[in-house]
Amino acid sequence: MLRPPAHILVPVDGTETSLRALELGATMAAAFHARLTVLTVVEHNAADDVGLRGREEDTRTRVVEDEADPILDRAEAHLAALGAPTCTRLARYGDPDEEIVAAARELQVELVVMGTRALGRLAELLLGSTSDAVLHQVGCPVTLVR
Amino acid sequence: MSITPRHLLVPVDGSERSLHAAAFAASLCAGSEARLTTLYVVPATSAEMMGMRHLTQAEVELHLEKAAAPVLGKVSELLGSFEGLDQHGELVRFGDPADEILTAVQRLGVDHIVMGSRGLSHLEELLLGSVSEKVVRRASCPVTVVR
């Protein structure tokens, strides 16, 4: 029989929905006595790549950290305000769909909890494209939060 | 925490994955005040439902109970092994599974759904399963899809 997840991954992007997902992820981590990892993906686009090309590796790392740190700080502060247990922070650079799926696999997490970003009149019927991709590609259970 | 689930709904269909979903939900509920309701939807097309129109309410309920007994029996046996799970209810409906799940969410004030990803055919297993796909897209509360 399936045992409760021992490691939960919550990808956050600074939006309210992702903080709600973090709250639920923390609740579930407490209920399951699971580890909690909070991930943010610094989205890359072609312009960034040009800007970062040829730079020292640590320059590139610093650029990623500059973007990721405020998001992770806010997530951590949110958890602290809720009295939730501590989490592990993780920042990755690239395509959010791919990086979340890759991080889930590499860390061997057993649950992903994430917000769905769906805008506009058809919001009810649509999922955010990232949550849709993760839901279909990740091998473990996924909790989607609106 | 404000988002702590108070009433979980687990739609079950007797499959191994739906039992995994029930176990997941039970361990989430155990030791908390949360209620857990298992729902079995006897799949029925609208034509089949038209055909049932001549039956009395009691006859329909008897038919549904019979259809649901093997599935709910299995789930109930599994949930019995979880300590600290004291508020467990069962519900049987008939019709389109996704529609009935979403209706139950509204009626019962469910704030978290846990369900298996299994679809109705082998092809659908490769995807998410039509029922979970529809529920994930339409539900207003968080949904956990267990594989």
Residue B135 touches chain A, beta carbons under 8 Å = no
Q: B115 and B145 in contact (C-beta within 8 Å)?
A: yes
Which position has the higher pLDDT, A6 or B86? A6
- Where does A2-146 show beta strands of DSSP type E? 7-11, 35-43, 88-94, 111-115, 142-145
**Closest alpha carbon within chain A to B33:** A31
CA distance A99 to chain B (A): 20
Q: Following DSSP, what letter does each residue of B64-112 receive, concatenated?
A: HHHHHHHHHHHHHHHHHT-TT---EEEEEEEE-HHHHHHHHHHHHT--E
User: Is the pLDDT reported for residue A125 higher than 80?
Assistant: no
Tens digits of per-residue pLDDT, A10-63? 999 988 999 999 999 999 999 899 999 999 999 876 666 666 666 667 777 787
Flag if B2 and A125 touch (Cβ within 8 Å): no
The pair of three-digit structure tokens given for residue A106, joined into one six-digit string:
């590499």
What is the structure's pLDDT at B71?
A: 92
Q: Fill in the amino acid letter for B107.
A: R
What value does the mean pLDDT of chain A take? 86
Q: Fill in the amino acid letter for A34.
A: A
pLDDT range class, residue B1, cuts 50, 70, 90: very low
What whole-number distance in Å separates Cα of residue B29 and Cα of residue B82? 10
What whole-number distance in Å separates Cα of residue B136 and Cα of residue B142? 8
**Closest alpha carbon within chain B to A29:** B28
Residue B141 touches chain A, beta carbons under 8 Å = yes
Interface test with A, best of B1, B28, B111, B147 (most A CBs within 10 A): B1
What whole-number distance in Å separates Cα of residue B124 and Cα of residue A43? 32
**Closest alpha carbon within chain A to B81:** A1
Tens digits of per-residue pLDDT, B68-94? 999 999 999 999 988 878 788 999 998
Q: Alpha carbon A99 to chain centroid distance? A: 9
**Measuring CA to CA, which residue among A77, A84, A110, A82 is closest to residue A7?**
A110
What is the DSSP secondary structure assignment for residue A2, as one 8-state letter?
Answer: P
The number of CA neighbours under 13 Å toward the Cβ of B3 is 27
What whole-number distance in Å separates Cα of residue A95 and Cα of residue A35? 25
Tens digits of per-residue pLDDT, A62-112? 878 888 999 999 999 999 998 887 899 999 988 899 999 999 999 999 999
What whole-number distance in Å separates Cα of residue A59 and Cα of residue A53? 10
Chain B residues touching residue A104 (CB < 8 angstroms): none
CA distance A142 to chain B (A): 5
CA distance A89 to chain B (A): 21
pLDDT range class, residue B128, cuts 50, 70, 90: low
Residue A135 touches chain B, beta carbons under 8 Å = yes
Packing angle of the helix pair A96-106, A129-137 (nearest 10 deg) = 30
CA distance A139 to chain B (A): 7
